[in-house]
Amino acid sequence: MITDKIGDIRLLERNRVEKWLIEQGEQRYRFRQLEEWLWTKGVRSFDEITSFPKCLRDKLSQNFSFISVSTYKIKESKDGTLKSLFSLYDDELVEGVLIISNNRSTACISTQVGCKSGCKFCATGQAGFKRNLHFVEIFDQVTILNKLSVEHTGRPLSNIVFMGMGEPLLNYEAVKESVKYITGKPGLEMSPSRITLSTVGIPEMIKKMGDDNVKYNLAISFHAANDSKRSELIPLAKKYNLKELATAIKYFHKKTNNRITIEYLLLGGVNDLPGDAAELAIFCRNFPVKINLINFNPVKGLDFVNSSKEDTLRFQKILKNKNMIVNIRRSRGIDIDAACGQLAGKSNITE
Ligand code: SF4
């Protein structure tokens, strides 16, 4: 068996697989066909490669393997949102969500098993960190949710958000490699402008995204515009102050010209006061942004409450008066714990 230490043909260097095919007496075009089957058609067993003769399929099965992600359970919300619990090769679990609306199918993808950021309002943050996902495990979530979207709506995914379990910028290389196959050929050929990476804000990595001249969108999970309140809510933010974050976002914008989205979770009495909105407006003067205000979704064991409707509207008005673009985002899938901050990789998904 030819494997790397994890055991997936897609994690091997491409020229190693190509060389192996040539050693079997195959023509070079076979490798191109194999890549097409792996990345565009998304096969997860060599028997599915129906254009290959059986003897070649058998040889591939004897020499290579997959660590495919499989769907362990699916739960459907009253609003049509689907939450999928994915099982990984080492029996770890992560969650992905398919959010269906009139003209969109958005996949929310996980990048880590657990998370180091420890955000106080988030179920994943409370569960600790186990490991990074390999890029093929990120890619597999996309292909599975893509098939689910076709089954439920008749159309493929329109958008992808890296907003599930984990901090994507702490597993950046794997995210980057998965995006290569999501947007490229061989691959799913989706437009990068349909992809958003959401981060709590790690300045050096945001600058790296700028240097990489990424074509996808950046969202910052912001939640407070002063350092002490922000680091209470997002322990990882203690390492980086808002000044460094602003510098990194400005750099990213200068390099990519992409607009940045600020995600702001409104927690009643914690970060939804007029002073908080005023501080947020000052921070957002630094670059072109769109602000999404998000309702807090209940998480078992956490004491936060959602901001009242009046306080939410007051918060929005203060920002609008400063000429900011501000939307109040409706949460989806709350009844199945599929909304923002509720994902935890629980095996009791059908409860
Ligand atoms: S909100 Fe995101 S970054 Fe924070 S703990 Fe949850 S998964 Fe991690």
Tens digits of residue pLDDT in 306-350: 999 999 999 999 999 999 999 998 777 777 666 666 666 654 433
Tokens representing 95 are 């969650």
* 343 CA → ligand 1 middle, Å: 9
Q: Is the CB of 166 under 6 A from ligand 1?
A: yes
- pLDDT at residue number 350: 31
**CA 278 to CA 96: how far, in whole Å?**
35
- pLDDT at residue number 351: 30
| CATH number of the structural domain 9-63 | 1.10.150.530
- Residue 247: HSE in the Cβ half-sphere, 13 Å Cα cutoff: 7
User: What fold does the segment set 70-336 form as a domain?
Assistant: TIM Barrel (3.20.20)
pLDDT tens, residue by residue, 245-285:
999 999 999 999 998 999 999 999 999 999 999 999 999 99
Q: Is the CB of 115 under 6 A from ligand 1?
A: yes
Residue ranges per structural domain of the chain: 9-63, 70-336
Q: Which atom of ligand 1 is nearest to the CA of 163?
A: 2
- pLDDT at residue number 3: 60
pLDDT at residue 1 is higher than 80:
no
- pLDDT at residue number 2: 63
Q: How far is CA 120 from CA 33, 45, 116, 235, 296, in A?
A: 47, 41, 12, 8, 12
Confidence of residue 104 (pLDDT cuts 50, 70, 90): very high
Which of 26 and 336 is assigned the larger pLDDT? Answer: 26
Q: Do domains 9-63 and 70-336 have the same CATH topology?
A: no
pLDDT tens, residue by residue, 164-189:
999 999 999 999 999 999 999 999 99
Q: Is the CB of 201 under 6 A from ligand 1?
A: no
Confidence of residue 106 (pLDDT cuts 50, 70, 90): very high
* 240 CA → ligand 1 middle, Å: 16
Comparing 20-29, 61-70, 91-100, 333-342, which segment has the lowest mean pLDDT?
333-342
Residue with CA nearest ligand 1 atom 5: 125
**CA 258 to CA 273: how far, in whole Å?**
29
In this structure, the dihedral spanned by the alpha carbons of residues 76, 145, 192 and 245, taken in order and rounded to 10 degrees, is 60
- pLDDT at residue number 303: 86
- Catalytically active residues are 95, 340
- pLDDT at residue number 348: 40
**CA 98 to CA 155: how far, in whole Å?**
13
Tokens representing 88 are 């990984």
Confidence of residue 37 (pLDDT cuts 50, 70, 90): very high
Q: Share the mean pLDDT of the chain.
A: 92
